[in-house]
Amino acid sequence: MTETTIPRGNTLPRIRPWLGIAAAASFVVASVMALFWAPTDAVQGNVYRILYVHVPLAWLAYLAFVIVFLASVGWLWTKNPLFDAIAVSSAEIGVLFTGLFLVAGSIWAKPTWGVWWTWEPRLVTTAIMFVMYVGYLLLRGLSTDFSRRATRAAVFGIIAVIDVPIVHLSVLWANSLHQLPTVLRAGGSPALDSSMLLTLMVSLGAYTLIYAYFMTSRVSLELARIRRLWTT
Amino acid sequence: MDNLIFVVAAFAIVWGALLAYLISLRARGA
């Protein structure tokens, strides 16, 4: 591979400041709505407000790992280093988001279920997903050869995505303590109050912008690292 | 507010981790 095959990524620095401003502004609005504007839940009280960070982070983690899958296919298909940069960036952010939604979910579970953790299907499959993508990041450290490392990681990234639908559907397949889908449920509209749904959607938008901002920054870093690797 | 400590803890951990990741990106040159 020559340096000319490595994308320069000139577009990312131009849009990143605007993405950062949009992410920060929407994050403030979403946080105010989640903590103060959304009504108190009749059953759970205020502790349900944790779900305004738990649920968007979970959905964004799913998205991040699906993007790892797509970028992995892209690398194997084209051998363009941009796809490898996208895959590792999305995996890293996906691991961060998965760790955070596990912790937020655990904090919500203590006052709601009475335990920090229980070995039920949704939690176990999520923990497996977390460990698998930590493994994906560790696997990348096993080889210094760029193409070999990217190819091994891509194969792992394609296989590991199988766990994403398993995590989401585990509550339907098994008798689970975790509640069933409230928004993304088959054959029905979202089963929550309109102001709660609006707050959830604003939070989802805010965390999507944060994911996009992190991605532009991380992909730029990775491309610069690859460029350094091939010019030294 | 009932269970205030749990709500504060969850939001603080999430906000803190996101800020830490942002700082780590900046430290790496982003």
Per residue in A62-105, pLDDT tens? 999 999 999 999 999 999 999 999 999 999 999 999 999 999 99
Cross-chain CB nearest to B14 (options A100, A214, A224): A100
List chain A residues with CB under 8 Å of B22. Answer: 214
Say whether A57 and B21 touch across the interface (CB within 8 A). no
For residues A191-215, average pLDDT: 92
Whether chain B has a CB inside 8 Å of the CB on A47: the answer is: yes
| Within-domain flag for A2 | no
Highest mean pLDDT: which range of A108-117, A138-147, A164-173: A108-117
Among A8-12, A89-93, A109-113, the minimum mean pLDDT is found in: A8-12
Cross-chain CB nearest to A50 (options B7, B21, B29): B7
| Within-domain flag for A14 | yes
- Number of structural domains, chain A? 1
By percentage, how much of chain A surpasses pLDDT 70? 88
| Within-domain flag for A1 | no
pLDDT class of A184 with cuts at 50, 70, 90: low
pLDDT class of A2 with cuts at 50, 70, 90: very low
**Chain B residues near any Cβ of chain A (below 8 Å):** 1-4, 6-7, 9-11, 13-15, 17-18, 21-22, 25, 28-30
Say whether B30 and A218 touch across the interface (CB within 8 A). yes
The pTM score is: 0.90
Nearest CA in chain A to B6: A107
What ipTM was reported for this prediction? 0.94
Q: What's the confidence (pLDDT) of residue A5?
A: 62
Calculate the average pLDDT of chain A.
Answer: 89
| Within-domain flag for A4 | no
For residues A193-203, average pLDDT: 91
With 60 as the cut, is the pLDDT of residue A185 above it?
yes
Of A93, A133, A52, give the one whose Cα is nearest residue A214: A93
CA distances to A62, A99, A106, A128, A181 from A117, rounded to whole Å, are 21, 14, 6, 14, 19
Cross-chain CB nearest to A107 (options B9, B28, B30): B9
Cross-chain CB nearest to B25 (options A45, A54, A217): A217
Per residue in B2-29, pLDDT tens? 688 999 999 999 999 999 999 999 999 8
| Within-domain flag for A161 | yes
Cross-chain CB nearest to A103 (options B3, B13, B22): B13
The CATH number that applies at residue A190 is: 1.20.120
For residues A204-223, average pLDDT: 95
For residues A14-27, average pLDDT: 92
List chain A residues with CB under 8 Å of B11. Answer: 31, 35, 50, 53
C-alpha to C-alpha distance for A14 and A170, rounded to whole angstroms:
41
Of A209, A204, A211, give the one whose Cα is nearest residue A90: A211
C-alpha distance from B23 to closest chain A C-alpha (Å): 11
| Within-domain flag for A91 | yes
Q: What's the confidence (pLDDT) of residue A4?
A: 45
| Within-domain flag for A137 | yes
DSSP A145-178: -HHHHHHHHHHHHHHHTTHHHHHHHHHHHS--SS
- Which domain, by its residues, includes A30? 9-231
How many residue pairs bridge chain A and chain B with CB atoms within 8 Å of each other? 62
